[in-house]
Structure 1
Amino acid sequence: MPVDYAGNSLDKARKLDINSNAQSFTDRVDNLDLNDFYSFNLSSRSSFHLKLDGLKEDADVALIRDANNNGKFDKKEVLSASTRSGKQAESINEILGAGSYYIRVYPDGNAKTNYKLTVWATPFDDAISTIVSTSANLAINTTSVNTEVSVGSAIAPASPTNNTNIIAGTLRADTFNFQSGYAKTVYFGNGNVDYSTGKRDLLNLSQIASTSVTTNYADNSTGGVVYNAGNGNSLFDAITLSDGSQILFQGIETIQFQDKTVNLSVTPNDPLFNQQWDLHITGVNNAWRFTQGNNQVAIGIADTGLGANSNGIHPDLGSTTFVANNYFDESATYSHGTRVEGTIAAASNNGIGIAGINWNSRVEMIDVVGGDSGDYDLVQATQALINGAGDRKLVINLSLSGGSSPAFEQLVANNQGNVLFVIASGNQDQNTIASPASLAQTNNNVMAIGSSWGTQDWYGNAKTPGERISYAGWWGSNYGTGLTLIAPSEFIATSASRTDASATYEMGYYDHFNGTSASTAVVTGIASLVWSANPNLTAGQIKTILSETAYDLGAAGYDTVYGYGLVNASAAVGRAEALERGFA
């Protein structure tokens, strides 16, 4: 049995000195040790974060406030609790005022488990200097809020700090219960890996009739409110209550009023969309409200050729796809390029298969892999993709490693403004970014992409959504200096396969498209949506937006294991829309 470090009652709680640096504490709960209590004090309003993981069985965690704030805890209030099932990690993210608090860790039923408790809290004054390195969902910085614009009106100052309540969601389905008493309340939905189970990021206004409020839903023209919640202006949906207080929200899928339910996210009729957790966890179905891609943006893919048979390429690939050289690999038993292309731009809302991330932009495919007759090298392919894009903004997907050269690096350097390169970080589970993704260290138009799990791994083992993929003896997502973002891997994609190289391709769907190749395709699709929302941006600005709006994971702020965090399509498009309307 381990030493019982934590107190087992409120009066014996282990005292913590929490600051902006993440600290971890290990202990155990079981049927003989039902409560582990920790106490801490905050001297100023702070963004508080807690994570409970390393579980062998089910344990839960609660955050408790000293309601009278007298240090006696004679009136206790449970502010938040995390009670996920099984061995799933628990988390709490809250805005806390100055005062005294407890953390309670406890087993579910007769569970017996060790645990690791990680906590940190960032005072708002300290958060100002780290806005660029934090995500929209965790950089909850009300002191830096300085601009609010209701479209069509003049700029007005934001409400005072102590009248603003900002609440961040997780990567799961979250219910946001509205609490009155603030002039402004801001909610971030942040993606929802549980979407396929019918659960939604829900704004609960069930005590309020829809007829008693004024709604101003965001769109890609004049709707919504532009507001700065800590890392730049972004576009929000808005609800104004009868007392004049305001609710702003982003990434919320459903609103429950007293008299009706409003569904905001886009659900295409593709029958396999319900399985596309990679789109749900990254908020793509919320970003579709504003754009599904357009002809001002082009997508280039340098990969294998597309799989083809006597009927042509995969029937679920979009009509916007153009193949520059080879349709298929002469010696391969499956088409890697078909998986990549379908992830980015499968035909969508057509009642067939899956939905692509971008529904409308031009896609050009060039075969550079496999040594097939007619293959281009990476320099030839890149130049051809640039030429094919014409005056469109261009996102080039490189779900590959190797092939870099001084000539390729010069092409990257010469196209900083209008060409964004999204490149796989590599699958060797090493602390190094593979070439050419390593160019992200020195080029503003290059992004290096790593991989994360959803709720389970390849073998069905439960995982914490967003966790970096690492399998002993198989593959893992490379990490290290220059890593930009992570994105999902091991998800369903279009597939073209055959039993041997002499057979014709059979078209279908593969439910475990894995590696950093898959993650790169997700980020390419999302980047093309963000650019479609605002084609006036440069490639470097797209990289910055995707970085600033990512869902922070790992150590607070930028780190070399998760980069800036998990890509967040909804938040990124909201930021691009605000910039398009002229707000920096």
Structure 2
Amino acid sequence: MLDTQPDFAGLHLPEILGVETLDSTPWTGYSDPFAPTVPDLSVLEPTIIAETSDYNPDNNSNLLATDPLTGDSLTNTFLLPVVDDTLATAQDLGPIEGTQTINDSVGIDDLNDYYRIQLNSASNLNLSLDGLTADADLELIADNNGDGFADYSEVIDYSYQWGTFSDNISADLPAGTYFVNVEQYSGETPYTLTVSTTQTSLVNPVSDFDPIEGYGLINASAAVSRAIGSPVPFADVPDTYHPNWGLNTIHIPEVWSQGFTGEGVVVAVLDTGVDYTHPDLDGRIWQNIDEIPGNGIDDDGNGYRDDVRGWDFIYNDADPMDYYGHGTHVAGIVAAEANEFGVTGVAPNAQIMPVQVITDYLGDVDSLASGIYYAVNNGADVINMSLGFDSYSSFYYDLTLLQEAVQFATENGVVVVSSAGNNYGFSPTYPAQYATDWGIAVGASNSYDWVADFSNDAGFTPLDYVVAPGVSIYSTTPNNNYEYFEGTSMAAPHVAGVAALMLSANPNLTVAEVEQILTETANHSVLIA
């Protein structure tokens, strides 16, 4: 049975529908659309709801009025698009060098103002929309198919700030023609649009990067082989039955056949906790050997008393038990035991460090950042975060703590893997979006090698983004159970598990080398975006 699972992206587990609320603060929830219980979808998955209007001026050019006396068709001049109301009639700003400022307005009778810009060289483009008295939004578009319409897949980036708050977009772009859309959301408002560029040496030194699927589907055989210095993947082995179809898809059995199973590697699962008593996980739970259980003393002096198997940063205690299911499912994908029953994880001999940073309705930046520091300071080699904050969260949260924690982990030798989010979005949620500099972002694919429709795109700015199985994934859930979940929450632990396999094969790999190998050995050709 496929159960609906909340997704934390805001702070949410990346999921498909809904907007979660944390202490009256919008958050996005889990990274999977399916989970053990079926909560109210209105408070689930932190999803960006694009602000749209019922009236679309891009589609009104053929509307006609009829003369009541003669019956003749007359052009309805009120509905005809005017200059700058569509891509085809966009106001041409010409080549952008330095800064240009445009003052105009949008409202009920003028819903969209489009501007055409030309970049003559690779540039960092910055857009800002200020001076608002009502709600208007900002989009950056590339009309890739030249049809004069802003198709969903052609929106490079967007800013949908609430009310009169300023909207801002920054993107590294190759030379080419682009469009900017100032879109009315409510009321009538003047605006000041500022367009500026700085020439860069970019884009795209990584010609294999795709704005939807990043570098493509991970290939564990090629990645682990490269980790030990071999330029070719391990020899193929016949597919074998696994309840999780994704293992064959990303060539995990080929790695196992070489004796690499994740032994000696610790993967911290920052999530809803982990059911550490599950028979498919109990033998793989990390143990803090410097702590004496139950004596009420912080024996190892790490600041956490009795943390023999991790920590719960929601209730601030030493029991990171999972009562929600999401974290246990993620942990099983990473390292469920190879024990002839249940499921087998990607790295079945790796250890899982349970760190609870969220429930199905509680979670914040402080808890997540604290969980990252805990994992790093207590010996984790890989951190998996199947959760995220959406773009609105920067209004409610100061994400600086989260960015600093991800940077700290990376600079201290820990591979950070984050789900991209299930918002049908044009770019990953946070912390996955930090993969421009730190960590790896992961989108989801299905068993037909289609990129899942809910999976947030990689975006136009290159970052370390790969795709992994994330639809109908069978794994462990609390109380000795197993269930099917789906979402980028399920894709990320596949990549975390592959990183564990790489580090078990070559413990001397740096974080940068792990990230580089994962992206360079990923495969575009098998995916259908």
Q: TM-score range by the shorter chain?
A: 0.3 to 0.5
TM-score under structure 2 normalisation?
0.47
**TM superposition score normalised by structure 1:** 0.43
**Greater strand proportion:** 1
